[in-house]
Amino acid sequence: MKIILTGSKGIGKTTIAKELLRRDDRTPTGFFTRFDGSRERDNRKLFMINAQTGECQELVKWHENVPIVDISAFDEFGGGCIKSPSALTIMDELGHLEAHALEFKRCVSEAFEREGDIIAVAAENAADWVMALMKMENVFCFEVTEQNRNALLEEILRRKKDFNCAD
């Protein structure tokens, strides 16, 4: 089952994604992203962490609140995290910063087209290329809100079970 969690910043998308992974006995490929400290600092950095190896790569640094994106890091490191077929892939988070990382976006699209489960996280106002993923057949999108975030995990697990039984 391919799942994309959307919602506003800090609403709990990653928390739900990590709980879905925790309840699955498979080791995922893919990646997580994290900031070095506060997301709000004007000199912050964004890193990608390989879900299998724990290896870390800087992707973006901000200078006076302007993002400076390392496209080759997205393409080479990020693409490498998801290039190999896997039974379970995590992609946390997909968004606007990788808009010009064509190889990375190709790897993401290919992952969504092949066999295997995906748990992806996307920003509330998703980039066009992420919106195209959301419209793919057999991709299930869930918006995380303050009202549903406590019950959403169980709803996703229920749908996942129904989906797997239908296969």
- Kindly report the number of other CB atoms within 10 A of residue 60's CB atom: 19
Q: Angle formed by the axes of helices 13-22 and 149-166, to 10°? A: 50
Over residues 89-115, the mean pLDDT reads 96
Domains with residue ranges and CATH for the chain: 2-166 (3.40.50.300)
Q: Over the chain, what is the mean pLDDT?
A: 93
Cβ atoms of residues 60 and 69 within 8 Å: yes
Mode of pairing for the β-strands spanning 29-35 and 45-50: antiparallel
pLDDT for position 97:
94
pLDDT at 37: 74
The predicted model gives 92-115 an average pLDDT of 96
Cα 57 to Cα 78: distance, rounded to the nearest angstrom: 9
Euclidean distance between CA atoms 152 and 111, whole angstroms? 24
pLDDT band at 167 (very low <50, low <70, confident <90, very high): low
> Would you call 15 exposed, middle or buried from its count of C-beta atoms within 10 A (0-12, 13-18, 19+)?
middle
| pLDDT attached to residue 126 | 87
pLDDT score for 161: 86
Task: Say what the pLDDT of residue 152 is.
Answer: 96
Say yes or no to pLDDT of 103 above 70. yes
Q: Is the pLDDT of residue 128 over 90?
A: yes
Q: What is the pTM of this model?
A: 0.93
